């Protein structure tokens, strides 16, 4: 007759295993994620089922241990600053690094579909809390700089950063984060996941295994590469010659509809966007932020009426001015003089446009560094 085993041994073993995995997740660091980091390319994106954690963001920005007086230039925001269509060797942020020189460390944490206040800002706020020299760069359209968390891809990362103490205390944002997970079905799941992971560290462990050894999750876009270690998935973009053949190939009518929707109509204002920015950006971050307001390509803008073209340019300048009134250190309408060749499509920049952007941003960063007392 078999001796009956007490269930307490099973539960004790289960608890011990969870504690071990939790401690392991709190300490492992995926070296291939941070080594020679360029950007969070598609293989390291939410699109391909990879959700970077705040601990990993900090590992990316601090791994190389630059000298203590280095000025961190953290790039956040959308696929425009991420550099869709630009090969990593010709990426605009690499050109920015060249223009700024060795006293600056440029780190491109902008993501495909990213927002100014949902990912890269975590790294910027953490470094500012550690009293490091930081300039944060993020982008938005002529109408919107900060977007509701309900429409973000990385809301779980926001909650992880908030619960983990990586972010500044900022009462308006704290109220939003406390209330949204109770009222929004879109946010509740990611928020609860972040709450559990704040104690268990399982996502850090899972990402470590996924980067260094291999994944166990099928992804339609990855296909047979779904189970490969993420370190083997290349940061691939088309060559300049290939991209020239693909420019402006998206359905014209749909793209024009989006451009037309950017133009403010009588009675509409930018106040909601400004309020969202003020609520989600703490004052300490705003004081170190360079906001870039983008306009769509003139390939589409030129099809608007003269009145609407002027309105779109004017509201971009107005948006920049309003952002500065709430404490954004510097806001500029950065692409109003770009031409069709500087774009690949409605919003993404070609290599030529990327080089132009870097040339515009570099002196702004240098001037900000001086005004912040980072340099002479």
Q: Is residue 312 part of a domain?
A: yes
Instruction: Decide if 353 is inside a domain.
Output: yes
The DSSP annotation for 245-300 comes to HHTT-S-HHHHHHHHHHHSPPTT--SHHHHHHHHHHS-HHHHTTEEEEEE---HHH
**What tokens appear for 158 in the block?**
């926001």
In a domain, residue 2? The reply is: no
pTM (2 decimals)?
0.93
Residues pairing with 41 in the sheet: none
- Look up the domain containing 43 and give its range: 29-371
Of the chain, the end-to-end C-alpha distance in Å amounts to 84
Degrees to nearest 5, angle at CA 371 with 369 and 376: 65
The answer to whether residue 330 is domain-embedded is: yes
* Beta carbons of 160 and 194 less than 8 angstroms apart: yes
Residue-wise pLDDT tens digits, 56-80: 999 999 988 777 789 999 999 999 9
- pLDDT (tens digit, 9 = 90+) per residue, 310-354? 999 999 999 999 999 999 999 999 998 999 999 999 999 999 999
Q: Indicate the number of domains in the chain.
A: 1
| Higher per-residue confidence, 123 vs 19 | 123
Structural domain contains residue 23: no
């Amino acid at each position: 007759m078999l001796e009956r085993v007490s269930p307490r041994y099973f539960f004790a073993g289960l608890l011990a295993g969870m504690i071990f995995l939790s401690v392991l997740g709190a300490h492992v660091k995926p070296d291939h994620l941070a080594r020679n980091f360029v950007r969070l390319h598609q293989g390291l994106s939410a699109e391909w089922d990879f959700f970077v954690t705040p601990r990993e963001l900090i590992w990316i920005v601090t791994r190389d241990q630059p000298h203590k007086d280095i000025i961190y230039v953290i790039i956040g925001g959308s696929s425009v600053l991420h550099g869709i269509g630009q090969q990593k060797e010709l990426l605009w942020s690499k050109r920015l690094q060249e223009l700024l020189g060795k006293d600056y460390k440029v780190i491109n944490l902008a993501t495909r579909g990213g927002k100014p206040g949902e990912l890269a800002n975590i790294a910027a706020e953490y470094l500012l809390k550690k009293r490091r020299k930081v300039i944060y760069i993020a982008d938005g359209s002529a109408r919107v700089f900060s977007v509701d968390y309900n429409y973000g891809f990385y809301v779980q990362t926001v909650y992880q950063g908030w619960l983990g103490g990586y972010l500044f205390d900022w009462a308006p944002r704290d109220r939003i984060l406390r209330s949204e997970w109770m009222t929004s079905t879109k946010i509740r799941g990611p928020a609860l996941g972040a709450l559990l992971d704040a104690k268990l560290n399982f996502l850090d462990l899972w990402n470590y295994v996924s980067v260094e050894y291999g994944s166990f999750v099928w992804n339609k876009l990855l296909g047979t590469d779904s189970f490969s270690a993420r370190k083997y998935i290349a940061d691939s973009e088309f060559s300049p010659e290939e991209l020239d053949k693909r420019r402006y190939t998206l359905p014209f009518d749909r793209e024009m509809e989006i451009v037309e929707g950017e133009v403010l109509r009588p009675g509409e204002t930018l106040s909601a966007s400004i309020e969202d920015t003020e609520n989600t950006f703490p004052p300490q971050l705003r004081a170190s932020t360079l906001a870039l307001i983008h306009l769509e390509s003139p390939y589409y803008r030129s099809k608007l009426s003269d009145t609407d073209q002027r309105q779109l340019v004017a509201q971009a300048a107005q948006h920049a001015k309003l952002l500065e009134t709430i404490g954004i250190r510097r806001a500029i309408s950065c692409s109003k003089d770009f031409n069709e060749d500087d774009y690949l499509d409605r919003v993404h920049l070609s290599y030529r446009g990327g080089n132009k952007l870097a040339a515009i941003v570099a002196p702004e960063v240098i001037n900000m560094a001086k005004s912040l007392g980072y340099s002479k």
